[in-house]
């Protein structure tokens, strides 16, 4: 399978201010950006926040190329959304929605580019600890995030491969030739991943020592 | 070495459109205690099913499988702690974006302290000569490097038994040799299915599986010779017109 693009940036080693910022604060910024996307009504404000998030990304030292790549990966989807919203609700609203999505993508990229995945998973485990009282296993929450991070680029790569295969057979205009193989590949991948995790003993409920 | 025991085991699956279940493995009993065990046979013969029984990925329809005394159905957690499994395609096995992260993921259950976990992962990667690739995307690695990485991630938790399902199928000659040398240096009991008959000849004991039955159990040289004969016989049954040109 070909190399996969990813919607959000992978971890980049560094010692910037952003790298040293506590995980909870970075996480709060991501949550705040997501919440703000529902509340902001002026596209100029969205654009200003987008500029700030881009500035934070660059401050982390992750580089312009990674930033552009993260944006480029969502560009086709944003184009479709933007055109549709323009047609339905007009230019300013379309611009606000598109820029708000970009804010979320860049904010998530700042988090993932400056936080090692294991630290991210440890953070998820800490956040999920209260659910232990309800019988949930916090490690499973972390594993779910890990699998999600891994699955998105896989599906993107599967789509690229299938599109190339369809082109080679002159079927690029046939949606069934694109969608069905991706669907089947994804289901097979899910099963393989499940087997691989089970084989490594990951995802099994943690043994809680009995109280004496 | 762990004693692996199959007692009156068979595996059947229900297949759509068929009245009777399909038998993947017919009733057999075995005890395995050798250090290196090979499983050879044609595609679809039941090799993978046999290996998957070893850590509970497949449950027997009848009979019991135990590894080091632990039942693979009723004590699957203990079994999986003791039996590492390496798949044919390392990409389906590696869950994290980089090698370092994947090895750390393996260690999450056993090592709770993140600094200690990172140090252990570093040591494992160093042992396999993969430290320089630790932070590269798994997609940037060669097939051999990925397979070694998958192996390292499994061995990070130090299982007693290592099961490998056709580990060299996707590898070129150089990487195959690299894998062979790595496997030869392991302390673990190794059980491996393979189409690489040179690799099979390194084994202490070889099982030949044919249509869901173990048709040979013995020395590597005799097992490989029998498998070659079976292949030759099956080709002889094909009409010449159907052979690819």
**Is residue B104 within 8 Å of residue B121, measured between CB atoms?**
yes
B241 has a pLDDT exceeding 90: no
What is the pLDDT at residue A210?
Answer: 46
Tell me how many degrees the CA angle B87-B13-B229 measures, rounded to the nearest 5: 65
On whether the CB atoms of residues A167 and A159 are closer than 8 A, the answer is no
Between CA A92 and CA A96, with CA A95 as vertex, the angle to 5 degrees is 85
Q: Which pair of tokens denotes residue B15? A: 């297949």
pLDDT at position B229: 92
Chain B CB contacts of A117 below 8 Å: 96-97, 101
> How many beta-carbon pairs below 8 A join chains A and B?
87
8 A C-beta contact, residue B80 and residue A201? yes
CB atoms A206 and B109 under 8 Å? yes
Cα dihedral A106, B94, A192, B196, rounded to 10, equals 150
Interface residue B137 vs chain A (CB under 8 A): yes
- The gap from C-alpha B240 to its chain's centroid, in whole angstroms, comes to 35
pLDDT of residue B37: 96
**The pLDDT value given to residue A206:** 60
Burial label for B12, CB within 10 Å (0-12, 13-18, 19+), is middle
Identify the CA nearest to A113 among candidates A65, A156, A64, A66.
A66
* Residues of B (224-243) whose Cβ lies below 8 Å from A: none
Tokens representing residue B125 in the block: 């990667």
Cβ <8 Å between B92 and A200? no
Q: How close are the terminal C-alpha atoms of chain A, in Å?
A: 52
Q: Is B160 part of the contact surface with chain A (CB cutoff 8 Å)?
A: no
Of A75, A105, A73, which Cα lies nearest the Cα of A83? A75
pLDDT of B215 > 90? The answer is yes
Residue located via tokens 């700042």: A110
Q: How do B62-67 and B161-165 pair as beta strands?
A: unpaired
Cα–Cα distance measured from residue A163 to residue A182, given in angstroms and rounded to the nearest whole number: 9
Token pair for B215 = 């048709």
Burial B52-78 (b: 16+ CB within 10 A, else e): bbbbbbbebeebebbbbebebeebbeb
Residues of B in contact with A204 (CB under 8 A): 77, 80
Asked if the Cβ–Cβ distance from B87 to A201 is below 8 Å, we say: no
Q: Are B161 and B54 in contact (CB under 8 A)?
A: yes
Beta strands across the sheet bearing B161-165: B83-86, B161-165, B189-193, B36-41, B205-210, B213-218
Q: From the list B105, B117, B118, which residue is nearest A146 (CB)?
A: B105
What letters, b where the CB count within 10 A reaches 16 and e where it falls short, cover A123-154? Answer: bbbeebeeeeeeeebbbbbbbebbbebbebbb
> One digit per residue, pLDDT tens: chain A, 212 residues?
554 545 455 788 888 999 999 999 999 999 999 998 888 888 889 999 999 999 999 999 888 988 898 888 888 889 999 999 999 888 888 999 999 999 999 999 999 889 888 888 888 888 888 888 888 888 888 888 888 877 877 787 788 888 888 888 887 778 888 888 888 988 888 888 888 888 887 766 665 544 44
Mark yes or no for CB contact B95/A197 under 8 Å.
Answer: yes
Residues 6+ apart with CB under 8 A from A205: A137, A140
Q: What is the pLDDT of residue A150?
A: 76
Best CA proximity match to B98, nearest among A149, A102, A36: A149
**pLDDT digit string, tens, across residues B140-166:** 888 888 888 999 999 998 999 999 999
Rounded Cα–Cα distance for residues A201 and B80 (Å)? 6
Say what the pLDDT of residue A207 is.
56
| Interchain contact, B92 vs A122, CB within 8 Å | no
DSSP string covering A77-138, please?
A: HHHHHHHHHHHHH-HHHHHHHHHHHHHHHHHHHHHHHHS-HHHHHHHHHHHHGGGGGGT--H
| pLDDT tens digits, B95-107 | 888 889 889 988 8
Say whether pLDDT at B180 is over 70.
Answer: yes
**Which of B57, B58, B109 is the mutation pick for testing A, counting most A CBs within 10 A?**
B109
Task: With beta carbons under 8 A apart, name residues in chain B contacting A144.
Answer: none
Which of A159, A205, A195, A202 lies closest to A180 in space, CA to CA? Answer: A159
Query: Does the beta-carbon distance from B104 to A118 stay under 8 Å?
Result: yes
Decide if B85 and A200 are in contact by the 8 Å CB cutoff: yes
Q: Which residue of A has its CA nearest to B153?
A: A200
In the block, which residue shows the tokens 């509970």?
B56
CB atoms A193 and B98 under 8 Å: no
Q: Which residues pair with B54 in a beta bridge?
A: none
Higher-confidence residue of A202 and B86: namely B86
The pLDDT score that the predictor gives to residue B214 is 95
Per-residue model confidence (pLDDT) at position B61:
95
Q: What is the pLDDT of residue B174?
A: 83
DSSP secondary structure string for all residues of B93-151? H--SSBHHHHHHHHHTTT--SHHHHHHHHHHHHHHTT-GGGTTSBGGGS-HHHHHHHHH
Give B232→chain A minimum CA distance, Å: 33
% chain B with pLDDT above 90: 53
Name the CATH topology of B4-234: Rossmann fold (3.40.50)
Give me the residue spans of the domains in chain B. 4-234
Crossing angle (nearest 10°) for helices A91-114 and A23-39 = 170
Out of B95, B101, B106, name the one closest to residue A147 (CB).
B95
A200·B80 Cβ contact <8 A: yes
Token pair in block for residue B240? 């010449």
Written as six digits, the tokens of B2 are 């762990």
Q: Would the pTM of this model clear 0.80, i.e. be above it?
A: no
pLDDT of A212: 41
């Amino acid at each position: 399978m070909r190399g996969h693009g990813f919607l959000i940036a992978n971890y980049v080693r560094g010692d910037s201010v952003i790298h040293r910022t506590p995980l909870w604060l970075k996480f709060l910024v991501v949550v705040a950006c997501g919440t703000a996307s529902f509340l902001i009504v002026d596209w100029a404000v969205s654009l200003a926040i987008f500029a700030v998030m881009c500035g934070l990304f660059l401050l982390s030292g992750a580089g312009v190329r990674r930033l552009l790549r993260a944006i480029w990966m969502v560009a086709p989807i944003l184009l479709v959304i933007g055109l549709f919203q323009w047609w339905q609700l007009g230019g300013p609203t379309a611009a606000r929605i598109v820029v708000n999505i970009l804010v979320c993508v860049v904010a998530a990229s700042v988090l993932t580019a400056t936080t090692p995945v294991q630290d991210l998973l440890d953070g998820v485990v800490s956040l999920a600890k209260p659910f232990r009282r309800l019988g949930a296993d916090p490690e499973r929450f972390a594993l779910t995030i890990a699998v999600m991070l891994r699955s998105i680029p896989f599906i993107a790569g599967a789509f690229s491969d299938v599109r190339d295969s369809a082109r080679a057979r002159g079927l690029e205009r046939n949606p069934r030739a694109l969608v069905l193989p991706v669907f089947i590949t994804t289901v097979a991948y899910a099963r393989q991943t499940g087997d691989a995790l089970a084989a490594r003993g990951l995802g099994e409920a943690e043994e809680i020592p009995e109280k004496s | 070495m762990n004693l692996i025991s199959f007692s009156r085991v068979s595996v059947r699956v229900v297949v759509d459109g068929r009245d009777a279940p399909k038998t993947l493995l017919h009733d057999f009993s075995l005890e395995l205690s050798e250090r290196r065990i090979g499983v050879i046979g044609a595609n679809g013969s039941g090799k993978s099913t046999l290996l998957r029984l070893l850590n509970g990925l497949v449950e027997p329809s009848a009979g019991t499988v135990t590894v080091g005394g632990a039942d693979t159905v009723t004590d699957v957690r203990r079994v999986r702690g003791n039996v590492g499994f390496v798949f044919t395609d390392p990409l389906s096995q590696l869950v994290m974006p980089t090698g370092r992260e994947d090895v750390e993921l393996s260690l999450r259950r056993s090592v709770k302290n993140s600094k200690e976990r990172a140090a252990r992962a570093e040591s494992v990667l160093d042992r396999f000569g993969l430290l320089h690739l630790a932070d590269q995307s798994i997609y940037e690695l060669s097939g051999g490097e990925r397979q070694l990485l998958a192996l390292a991630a499994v061995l990070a938790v130090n299982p007693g038994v290592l099961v490998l399902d056709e580990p060299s199928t996707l590898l070129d000659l150089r990487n195959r040799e690299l894998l062979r040398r790595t496997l030869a240096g392991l302390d673990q009991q190794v059980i491996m299915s393979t189409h690489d008959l040179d690799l099979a000849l390194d084994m202490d004991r070889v099982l030949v599986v044919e249509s869901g039955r173990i048709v040979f159990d013995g020395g590597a040289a005799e097992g490989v010779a029998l498998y070659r004969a079976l292949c030759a016989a099956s080709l002889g049954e094909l009409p010449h017109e159907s052979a690819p040109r």
